[in-house]
Amino acid sequence: MKLKTTLLAGAITLASGTASLAADSSDPIVIPIHNWSSQIVMSHVVGQIFESMGNSVEFVTTDSQAVYESVRLGDVTLELEVWEGAFGASFRAALEKGGLHDAGDHDAVTREDWWYPMWTKDACPGLPDWKALNECAHLFATAETGDKGRYLDGPVDWLKHGKERVEALDMNFTVINAGSAAALWAEIGSAEKDKRPVVVFNWTPNFAEAVWPGEFVEFPEWVDGCDKDPAVGPNPNALYDCGNPAQGYLKKAAWDGMPDKWPGAYDVLKKISFTNPQIAEMAKFVDTDEMEPEEAAERWLEENESVWKVWVDGGT
Ligand code: TMO
């Protein structure tokens, strides 16, 4: 069977004159795992697809910024969720150094920024404008933040530059970093009981949008260079004086050595494209339904064969 496949592959190569269709290496494809649910479930979904093709897969838990250096060096094979807002800068820096490449976009459109559940707007009707938020800062004051408003930002490795933005826009807020994604959901959940105004870091696609209707704060629109050139954005002397991209990309990235070492898996990686609802559902299985990520991935694959099987066998 193996011989026949190889011969057939050889014939196709000769006929088409394209790259070799050699078998994938038996070394494990190394997939990184980070600290938010959709990325963990998606990584297991794709890992299980690769395993179904006969590949071996290894998962490693890594920092979500440092991972681009690891992919560039080939210590990690790929990254499935390159969010423009959080990781665009690290991804671009690694691209410039060389060793990793853009393996295509997901269908999903992403946004990551300051966000509030809708009841917050009852107390601060000028929202979603950031200046209105700033005028309402006292509504968000806590014992911890004194007369400043409290903004609960994401874990530090998501590098949201919340503190820099507060300074650049001269806002009356104190930025606190959550220790985990779960701490963000706990903050919204506890505010829900008495409809206390809160503003926290959030993103889409995510399970949260189905649980708590809400909106992103509208900051000065993102302009390329806002994180590199002080002249860009409303404050001529500061970086990070813009919101994150409101229509951000979600990319896949791969080590440059992947196409040669695992051509079959690489071909599938290139075809993989998840939508906003698919990604939100992956997160929901874990964050709402409390499934283990591996179990959530199995369930997703079972229920979505028509989505992923075409990536593997071309839909035949
Ligand atoms: C990187 N994240 C999706 C959590 O903003």
Domain boundaries, the chain: 2-109+248-313, 111-216
Q: Relative to the CA of 112, which ligand 1 atom is closest? A: 5
Using the mean position of ligand 1's atoms as its centre, give its distance from the Cα of residue 148 in Å.
26
Q: Is 112 in the pocket of ligand 1 (CB under 6 A)?
A: yes
Spatial distance between the Cα atoms of 187 and 163, rounded to a whole number of angstroms: 19
The kind and range of the H/E element at 177 are: strand 173-177
Backbone φ and ψ for 192, nearest 5 degrees, come out as -65, -35
Closest CA to 118 of 244, 206, 205, 216: 216
Structural tokens at position 114: 């300051």
d(C-alpha 286, C-alpha 295), whole Å: 9
For residue 10, how far is its CA from the centre of ligand 1 (angstroms)?
43
Give yes or no for residue 262 CB within 6 A of ligand 1: no
Pure H helices in the chain:
2-16, 37-52, 67-73, 84-97, 119-123, 130-135, 162-168, 181-193, 208-211, 258-261, 263-271, 276-287, 293-303, 305-313
**Tens-digit pLDDT profile for residues 210-240:** 999 999 999 999 999 999 999 999 999 999 9
Place of tokens 């998606």: 42
CA of 83 to the centre of ligand 1 (A): 7
pTM metric for this prediction = 0.90
How far apart are the C-alpha atoms of 77 and 90, rounded to whole Å? 16
Distance CA 304, CA 307 (A): 5
Beta-carbon contacts of residue 228 (< 8 Å; ≥ 6 apart): 239
| 2-109+248-313 and 111-216 in the same fold | yes
Per residue in 73-103, pLDDT (tens digit) is 999 999 999 999 999 999 999 999 999 999 9
Pocket test for ligand 1, best of 40, 79, 112 (most atoms within 8 A of CB): 112
Q: Note the pLDDT of residue 12.
A: 46
Q: Closest residue (by CA) to atom 4 of ligand 1?
A: 36
Contact 161, 241 (CB under 8 A): no
Does residue 86's CB lie within 6 angstroms of at least one atom of ligand 1?
yes
Homologous superfamily of the 2-109+248-313 domain (CATH): Periplasmic binding protein-like II (3.40.190.10)
**pLDDT recorded at residue 22:** 78
Residues linked to residue 45 through DSSP beta bridges, in sequence order: none
Distance of CA 57 to the CA centre of its chain: 21
Q: 88 and 224 in contact (C-beta within 8 Å)?
A: no
Considering the four listed CATH numbers 3.40.190.100, 3.10.580.10, 3.20.20.140, 3.40.50.300, the one that applies to the domain covering 111-216 is: 3.40.190.100
CA 5 to chain centre: 37
Return the number of other C-beta atoms located less than 10 Å from residue 122's C-beta.
10
**124: CA distance to ligand 1 center in Å?**
26
305, two tokens = 């064969």
Nearest residue to 185 via CA among 242, 256, 117? 117
Query: Cα–Cα distance between 189 and 174 in angstroms, integer?
Result: 21
pLDDT < 70 regions, the chain? 1-21, 315-316
Q: Could you identify the residue written with the tokens 């007369």?
A: 147
Q: Ligand 1 center to residue 86 CA distance, Å?
A: 6
Atom of ligand 1 nearest to the CA of 36: 4
